[in-house]
């Protein structure tokens, strides 16, 4: 049986700990936005949440990058980390912990964990020969390589031959236990295509993997043989555990695992699936720790249909995007437009069209014109009607009533595009309803009660849409709520206490008679630049 993601007392979620070889790119932004949205959804339900992000700072890749910049590795990392934190602020990411693998308390956790695995006799010395991709920080099978010894993921980089004495982790010992675990926890690896990928990889037979390096000093010395440096992935995965420590905790495994472990959701991209779905659970089994709830591997982003890369010169700068279009715009586009789990594309043309159609027109205009009519016809107050008197089979009321369950299960399954689809069905229904009912004529004909009912139905539907979309577009939701007369900030971490989920997630929560705020466009239409 899988973990139930809606009925837990607490909820913990991680993004990968990003390499600091460069400033964050749109791929890291994509994972982080998605994690933030789930964390926000849980906070809306008043579930205590811990969202973890951070940086992976050791290893050869970082050491070389720093050397090329004539910096010490630590000085280089400190500089790049600021760039990550700045982007997360600009994208409105409400993370709770930022885990850096160079933190001294992390070393204590890694050493304690290492000792447990060592005591289990799961670490032994051997000879490692093979092709290594420094950009992946991973050995590759010869058959995986592209022509000219290029890495299949970093296609512009060649792999390097290694032949050295290393310490190995006995992964092969865990083959049967892992298979049993996958079998008993069919939701552990998501979506199903990734699960199949892992099952097929594991069924080919697991090889032990090396967890130490010689000729590298940027990392933690191996506790039992300090001539060796611990492999960056062994140390990085444990960054998730270190992140669980409260700021004043002494760094021990017991303290770290007390409150938030096991982590419910590890959100990652598909390229690092093996580390999270095979190596990590085996390491945890070896150390005798419970395993995480699920690992979700999302797809890759392309630009205008092409793989993004520096060599192609078509990378998408997340700082530039958010500066030009706002955090909500970026958040909305990627989650609405791409089915989470699949690869997806960014085109600026499509980006502008989607935002204008959904946020500026369908939702923004709807709210704006309805508020203006309400100001004129109802003295700027929510019409004074009794919700129960609106017929239960009213199309929008019944759509609204059904929405919460649909949206809740979509968020739980990380089906963000389905959340948007479901909400916008209601919004588009409202636009149609307004055109059909024409409250402006009803009002002219003196049909005050009918006019008020129509306006209430639309205002309430817009409220519900804003509430359910608030994890994705928190600023927009805050603006809508404010124009509807609430003083609520969806960026407030205690939002679940400020607005009761059970009331606000249902149709009919807009209080009759509430004074409305000033009607202002919530999302400015974007004028396409000439080049797009």
As measured in angstroms, the least distance from the Cβ of 51 to ligand MSP is 15
Near ligand MSP by CB under 6 A: residue from 16, 251, 383, 471? 16
Question: Of the two residues 268 and 454, which places its CB atom closer to ligand MSP in the complex?
Answer: 268
Minimum distance between the CB of residue 301 and ligand MSP, rounded to whole angstroms?
4
Interaction of residue 279 with ligand MSP, rule CB under 6 A: no
DSSP sequence for 398-417: HHHHHHHHHHHHHHHTT-HH
The correct pick among 30, 169, 325, 443 for binding ligand MSP (CB under 6 A) is 30
What's the rounded Cα separation, in Å, for the pair 316 and 320?
Answer: 8
DSSP symbol at 506? S
Task: Please report the sign of the dihedral spanned by the C-alpha atoms of residue 209, residue 212, residue 214, residue 217.
Answer: positive
The one segment of 267-275, 413-421, 459-467, 486-494 that binds ligand MSP by CB under 6 A: 267-275
Applying CB under 6 A, does 34 fall inside the site for ligand MSP?
Answer: no
Q: Give yes or no for residue 300 binding ligand MSP (CB under 6 A).
A: yes
Among 35, 37, 51, 56, binds ligand MSP (CB under 6 A): 56
Told to check if 330 binds ligand MSP by CB under 6 A, we report no
Closer to ligand MSP at the Cβ: 244 or 427? Answer: 244
What distance, in Å, lies between the first and last C-alpha atoms of the chain? 49
Q: Determine, following the binding rule CB under 6 A, whether residue 271 of this chain makes contact with ligand MSP.
A: yes
The answer to the question of residue 453 lying near ligand MSP (CB under 6 A) is no
Among residues 27, 293, 439, 485, the one that binds ligand MSP under rule CB under 6 A? 27
Shortest distance (Å) from residue 496 CB to ligand MSP: 28
CA distance 443 to 437: 11
Residue 239, interface with ligand MSP (CB under 6 A)? yes
Query: Among 520, 192, 164, 233, which residue's Cα sits nearest to residue 369?
Result: 520
Question: In this complex, which beta carbon is closest to ligand MSP, that of residue 303 or of residue 381?
Answer: 303
189: β partners:
295
Alpha helices, DSSP H, located in 244-306? 253-257, 273-274, 280-287
Does 191 engage in binding with ligand MSP (CB under 6 A)? no
Quick one: which segment of 195-203, 233-241, 281-289, 406-414 binds ligand MSP (CB under 6 A)? 233-241
**173 CB-contact burial (10 Å; exposed 0-12 / middle 13-18 / buried 19+):** middle
DSSP letter string over 203-237?
HT-PPPEE-EESS--SSPEETTEEEEEE-HHHHHH
Does position 272 interact with ligand MSP (CB under 6 A)? The reply is yes
DSSP 340: B
CB of 236 to ligand MSP, least distance (A): 4
Of 23-31, 321-329, 358-366, 426-434, the segment contacting ligand MSP by CB under 6 A is 23-31
| Secondary structure class of 25 (helix, strand, coil) | coil
Given a contact cutoff of 8 angstroms between Cβ atoms, the answer to whether 309 and 25 are in contact is no
User: Which residues contact residue 388 at a Cβ distance below 8 angstroms, ignoring those fewer than 6 apart?
Assistant: none
User: Which span sits near ligand MSP by CB under 6 A: 22-30, 431-439, 465-473, 497-505?
Assistant: 22-30
- The one-character DSSP state at 342 is B
Select from 102-110, 178-186, 236-244, 459-467 the region that touches ligand MSP (CB under 6 A): 236-244
Pairing relationship of beta strands 225-230 and 49-56 according to DSSP bridges:
unpaired
Near ligand MSP by CB under 6 A: residue from 5, 11, 13, 31:
31
Indicate whether 19 belongs to the interface with ligand MSP (CB under 6 A).
yes
- Binding of ligand MSP by 308 (CB under 6 A): yes
Helix (H, G, I), strand (E, B) or coil at 239: helix
By C-beta, is 264 or 483 nearer to ligand MSP? 264
- 213 or 404, CB closer to ligand MSP? 213
28 sits near ligand MSP (criterion: CB under 6 A): yes
**The one among 48, 269, 380, 517 contacting ligand MSP by CB under 6 A:** 269
162 strand-pairing partners:
130
Residue nearest to ligand MSP (CB): 269
Choices 15-23, 181-189, 463-471, 473-481 (CB under 6 A): range interacting with ligand MSP: 15-23
Element (DSSP H or E) covering residue 366: helix 366-377
Q: How far apart are CA 510 and CA 146, in angstroms?
A: 60
The least CB distance from residue 521 to ligand MSP, in Å, is 32
- The three-state secondary structure class of 265 is strand
Q: Does 103 interact with ligand MSP (rule: CB under 6 A)?
A: no
- Contact between 301 and ligand MSP by CB under 6 A: the answer reads yes
Residue 355 DSSP one-character state:
I
Distance CA 4, CA 104 (A): 35
**237 contributes a contact to ligand MSP by CB under 6 A:** yes
Which of 17, 202, 371, 516 is the binder for ligand MSP (CB under 6 A)?
A: 17
C-beta of 319 vs 440, nearer to ligand MSP: 319
The angle formed by the CA atoms of residues 230, 231 and 235, to the nearest 5 degrees, is 75
Residues ≥6 apart with Cβ < 8 Å to 516: 371, 374, 375, 380, 381, 382, 483, 484, 485
Distance CA 501, CA 420 (A): 19
Based on the shown chain and the rule CB under 6 A, indicate whether residue 485 belongs to the binding site for ligand MSP.
no
Binding-site ranges for ligand MSP (CB under 6 A): 16-19, 27-28, 30-31, 56, 236-237, 239, 268-269, 271-272, 300-301, 308
């Amino acid at each position: 049986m899988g973990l139930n993601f809606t009925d837990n007392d607490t909820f913990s979620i991680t993004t990968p700990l990003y390499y600091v070889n460069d400033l964050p790119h749109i791929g890291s932004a994509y994972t982080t936005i998605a994690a933030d949205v789930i964390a926000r959804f849980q906070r809306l339900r008043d579930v205590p949440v811990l969202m973890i992000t951070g940086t992976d700072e050791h290893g050869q890749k970082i050491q070389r990058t720093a050397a090329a910049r004539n910096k010490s590795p630590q000085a280089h990392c400190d500089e790049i980390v600021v760039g990550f934190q700045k982007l997360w602020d600009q994208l409105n990411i409400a993370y709770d912990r930022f885990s850096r693998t160079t933190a001294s308390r992390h070393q204590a956790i890694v050493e304690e964990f290492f000792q447990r695995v060592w005591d289990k006799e799961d670490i032994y010395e051997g000879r490692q020969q093979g092709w290594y991709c420094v950009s992946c920080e991973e050995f590759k099978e010869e058959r995986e390589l592209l022509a000219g010894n290029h890495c299949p993921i970093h296609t512009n980089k060649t792999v390097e031959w290694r032949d050295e004495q290393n310490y190995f982790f006995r992964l092969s010992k865990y083959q049967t236990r892992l298979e049993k675990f996958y079998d008993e926890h069919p939701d552990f690896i998501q979506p199903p295509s990734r699960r199949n990928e892992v099952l097929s990889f594991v069924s080919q037979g697991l090889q032990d993997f090396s967890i130490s390096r010689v000729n590298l000093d940027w990392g933690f010395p191996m506790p039992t043989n300090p001539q060796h440096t611990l492999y960056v992935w062994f140390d990085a995965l444990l960054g998730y555990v270190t992140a669980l420590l409260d700021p004043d905790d002494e760094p021990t495994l017991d303290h770290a695992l007390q409150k938030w472990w096991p982590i419910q959701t590890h959100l990652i991209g598909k390229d690092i699936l093996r580390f999270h779905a095979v190596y990590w659970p085996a390491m945890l089994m070896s150390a005798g720790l419970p395993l995480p709830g699920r690992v979700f591997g999302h797809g890759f982003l392309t630009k205008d249909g092409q793989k993004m890369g520096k060599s192609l010169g078509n990378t998408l700068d997340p700082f530039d995007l958010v500066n030009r279009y706002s955090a909500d715009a970026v958040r909305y586009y990627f989650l609405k437009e791409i089915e989470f789990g699949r690869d997806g594309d960014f085109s600026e043309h499509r980006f502008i069209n989607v935002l204008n159609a959904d946020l500026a027109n369908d939702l923004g205009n709807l709210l704006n014109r309805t508020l203006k009519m309400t100001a004129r016809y109802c003295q700027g107050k929510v019409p004074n009607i009794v919700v129960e008197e609106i017929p239960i089979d009213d199309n929008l009321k019944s759509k609204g009533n059904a929405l919460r369950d649909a949206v809740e299960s979509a968020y739980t399954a990380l089906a963000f595009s389905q959340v948007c689809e479901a909400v916008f069905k209601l919004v588009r229904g409202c636009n149609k309803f307004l055109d059909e009912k024409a409250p402006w004529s009803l009002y002219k004909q003196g049909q005050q009660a009918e006019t008020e009912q129509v306006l209430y139905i639309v205002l309430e539907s817009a409220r519900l849409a804003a509430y359910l979309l608030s994890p994705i577009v928190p600023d927009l939701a805050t603006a809508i709520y404010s124009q509807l007369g609430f003083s609520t900030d969806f960026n407030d971490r205690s939002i679940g206490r400020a607005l009761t989920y059970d009331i606000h997630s249902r149709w009919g929560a807009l209080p009759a008679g509430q004074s409305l705020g000033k009607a202002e466009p919530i999302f400015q239409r974007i004028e396409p630049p000439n080049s797009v």
